[in-house]
Each structure stands twice: as structure tokens, then as C-alpha cells.
Chain A
Amino acid sequence: MLYIKCPHCGMRSQNEFSYGGDATIKRPELGKEISDQDWDNFVYNRKSLRGKHWELWQHLSGCRQWIKVQRDTATHEIFKTLKANEEIS
């Protein structure tokens, strides 16, 4: 069982959360010329790192907010959590 510290609600079990994937992916900016490769990278291509990984989770059965979580994908250790609008440093 993972325990994730929601920045809004505190420590909760993973059962309350759903997963949203890589948090470092940025949507191509609107109104600009966007190549097929840019879309490909945004929609499909992922690094899927082994080790520290910033990812999105939604506190679905809690405050329903999206949050950012830094987790080790090999050990499941969670290092940091951020609100969705906080930048990854």
C-alpha cells in the first residue's frame, strides 16, 4: 500500500487516489505551429524513468484535486508532493 501526502488533506492511502502519468509532459502551446513530432511526444512518447519520477495523481476520493508526486518507480518511495500549480524545482 502506498501512502501519499496530499498537499491539501495530508497523508492518505493510495486507495483514495487515481494515477495520471508523467507530470513533466507539457502540452504544446496554443496558437503556434506544432509539428507532428511535437504532438507525438506530447500524446504518446514517454521516458518512463526507473528511479525518481514526477507524476500526476488525483485525490479522487478526497479533495478531488490533481497533485504532483515525486516517487521512485523501483522502490515506491515517495519523496515530495506538490499542488498541481506548483512548479517542479
Chain B
Amino acid sequence: MQKYSVFSLVKNALSNHENWDLAWKDPTPKKEYDVVIIGGGGHGLATAYYLAKEHNITNVAIIEKGWIGGGNVGRNTTIIRSNYMHDDNALFSEFGMDLWRRMSQDLNYNVMFSPRGIINLAHSDAQMNTYARRGNSMRLNGIDAVLLNREEVREIIPMADFSENVRFPIFGGLMQPSAGTARHDAVAWGYARQADDMGVDIIQNCEVIGFDVSAGKINGVRTSRGDIKAKKIGLCVAGSTNILAEKLNMTLPIETHLLQACVSEPVKPVLDKVVTFGAGHFYISQSDKGEMVMGGDLDGYNSYAQRGNLPTLQHVLTEGIAMMPFLSKLKMLRTWGGIMDMSMDGSPIIDKTHIEGLYLNCGWCYGGFKATPASGWTFAHTIAQDRVHELNAGYSLNRFNTGHLLDEKGLGTKTWIS
């Protein structure tokens, strides 16, 4: 594989950039693999990469119904953070932060990781207390957290509404300075390129039709491009989890919902942090191109539509304008939607299943993108060793049965209602 560097750039410039290697191949599926990963999104590609890199398992196929990186990794708001209170979430996410910091070097691909910091705004004394508690929990787990008062927030984001007569005045905020954003497509492409180089087959336009299960064991998968045998199969299909679960006769603590995001027209640099509104669900950052990248609530009802509905967008942007009134002057450039695998406690599932050789990675709700490296790393471990790693031990499938929920936001089973 050609290494991407300033030298290779200059060298290829001399031949009009016509001689670059393909970033990944387009192989015909083999009859059998050691491991098949279903879903060529960020998590699936990362899983294949870590299977090859950390566990030396390279006889691996990634099966993708469409094209790689075409799902949620290509349609998120690129926020990366580890500002969680519960140990299971905090340690998992902070492990991921370390992988993010090294990712561009590890993958020899510029993922444009930008640790610009995230501020969660507080709009009441009670919320400040909650943030102080969460910040302290984070610091006990080695994650940076700074509690900001109103004046400190005003210094960092003076464009927010600090006038006296607002419905939700800004009391302060909780900042994680090391949080940030990254170029989402580059993450998928970087993992794909390295995985391909280590021998992983990336098979696109290949839909899963069914599974070959006998005597409680998985033997393979039936696809639109023929049957593929494998003793180990990992599901990384996010919003399509319920569809594949049905083919496996499994009913999961997951509902599929639609989440929208949007960007404004590009404007000059105005916001160098990720900011979230504390009195509703709205978050914003500014991309390198200058667009304001915004998102918020789910549309609120089960959906596989991958396109949104205007009432929710209006609701979300009303919150945005309440927080930063200048947004009302901007024109909308693009809106889009993706389907989320909403788990019943708001935390993900990375676990084995009752079918031997079948592994499950789902339930990422709003937070799948930031988890890409840690999810891939722990899922690869779970598949390779046939046991969960301590980092994903809390993300078990049976926690709903035993009552060990990871309800980070205290939303319980109705995560979509908040």
C-alpha cells in the first residue's frame, strides 16, 4: 500500500495524480471466512481493522448492503466526547478518546480530529449541581471536566444569548476541553483502507438475506451474492439491527427511530466549541467549511425512512435560536436523517448472543460516531476471544433482564420521549 505523506503527494502530483493506488479493492466473496462482519459502517470497518491488527485474524469479510460509510457514519454531526458519569460509559469512552488522538497516525489517514472542547450549558441551579456531580465523576475516572460559571461561559461563547429576559438563562456549563469533532467519512475510509491492506475483504452491494443456524450455532450467512460460511459472525448494522434480528428470531431491547441533522450555509468562523443546549435537546458546532452543524431530538416515532419530518426540525431549531439568536439569520443548506438503534436505557450493547458464534453490536442511540474506535476495538476482542472485554462488560444484552441498566441520563426506557 502506498503510504500517504507529503512526499507521495508531491510524487503523484508530477503524474497528475493518475497513479494513486485504489484505497480498497472490490473482491468477489469467497465461500468461507473465519469471521464475517455484517455492516460496512464505522463500527464494522473498525471491528475488521482491530481483528486484523490486534488479533491477527485477517480471513475476514465485511458485508455491506449499500456502499461502505453510507449509513450513520456518513450522516452524523461528528461529535467526539467522553463526558459520561457512569463508570462503564466513562471508561469505555475515554479509552476511545485515546484511540481518537492517535487515529490519524495509526491509519495513515487524516481524520481531522479536532479536540476543540464541548460545553453543555446549564440553565438552572439544579442543573449546575447535576453538572458538578457529573464533572466530579468524570475527573475521578481521569477525564477532563471544567465547571464554568456564567461569566466564564460568556467569555468562550459570547454569541450565545446572555440577555436578562430569556426563558432559559445561561447559569454556566460543564466543559470537557479534550472533546471535539472529526471528519466522519475519513474515519470510515481510513479504517477501510487499512483493513483492506491487511487482507480483509470489503464486499459492497451485498445484502444479507438470511442466516444459517443449526443446533444453536451459526454456520454462515445467505447473501444476495451467494452463501458465505463463517463460524463467527458479528452484527454492526445500527438502524437495521431489528430487521436482521427478525431473520434470527430474536427480539431485542431496541427500537429504530429517526434522527435528523442539518447544516447552515457556510459563514466565517464564529464558534470554536461544540455547544449543547441544556433546556432541551440541541447541539451545534461549526465545520471547517464554515457550516453550522446542528442536531437535536428524534422525530419521535418508529421509523426506517432515513428522511426527516419538518415539525421536529422546527422544534430543534427553535431551541437553537433560543440559545444563539444569530442562527435565525442563517439560511439552511442541507438537512438529512439517519435511523438510530435506540436501546431501552440509552446505552449500547456489545455482547455475545444465545447463538454460538453470533455477536451483537448495537443500541448506539445518538452516540455511535464517537464510539467508533472503542466499539471496533472491544467488539473485535469479543469476537476473537469469544468473551467480552472488561471495557464492554457493562454493555451486556441481558442487563435488561437482570435490571443492571446503564441509564446515563435517567431517561429509563423511553429515551425518545425526553
Contacts and interface: CB of A to CB of B under 8 A. Distances in A.
Q: Do A and B bind each other?
A: yes
A21 B309 CA distance: 18
A4 to B, nearest CB: 10
Interface string B292-332: 00000000111111000111000000000000000000000
Contacts of B300: 18-19
B387 to A, nearest CB: 23
B413 interface: yes
B309 A1 contact: yes
B401 A55 contact: no
Q: Report the contact-size class of chain B (Cβ under 8 Å from the partner).
A: 20 to 34
Contacts of B302: 21-22, 48-49, 53, 55, 73
Contacts of A48: 242, 254-256, 302
A15 B246 CA distance: 32
Nearest to A57: B301
B344 interface: yes
A45 to B, nearest CB: 4
Given A1-B310, A14-B311, A47-B242, A75 B254 contact: no
Interface residues of A, number: 28
B251 A41 contact: yes
B253 A44 contact: yes
A73 B413 CA distance: 20
Contacts of B344: 43-44
B401 A46 contact: no
A36 interface: yes
Contacts of B309: 1-2, 14, 76
Given A36-B401, A40-B401, A50-B242, A45 B251 contact: yes
8 contacts: A22-B302, A45-B251, A45-B253, A46-B251, A47-B246, A49-B242, A75-B305, A76-B303
Interface of B: 242-243, 246, 251-256, 300-305, 309-311, 344, 400-401, 413, 416
8 pairs of A and B residues whose beta carbons are closest in the complex: A44-B253, A48-B242, A45-B251, A44-B400, A19-B301, A44-B344, A74-B304, A50-B304
